[in-house]
Amino acid sequence: MKMTLAQALDPRREVNRGMVGALNGLAGCPGGGWPETQQAIDRIYDAAPHRDNRKWSVAELIDAALVVTGPDSGRWVWRTEVEAVTP
Q: What is d(CA 9, CA 65) in angstroms, rounded to the nearest whole number?
A: 8
pLDDT the model gives residue 87: 47
Helix (H, G, I), strand (E, B), or coil: what is residue 37?
Answer: helix
pLDDT of the residue at 35: 96
pTM of the model as a whole: 0.85
Q: Give CA–CA dist 22/79, Å, rounded.
A: 15
Q: What is the DSSP letter of 85?
A: T
Residue-level pLDDT at 86: 52
- Position 17 pLDDT exceeds 90: no
pLDDT per residue as tens digits for the range 19-75: 888 999 999 999 988 999 999 999 999 999 999 999 999 999 999 999 999 877 799
pLDDT of residue 33: 83
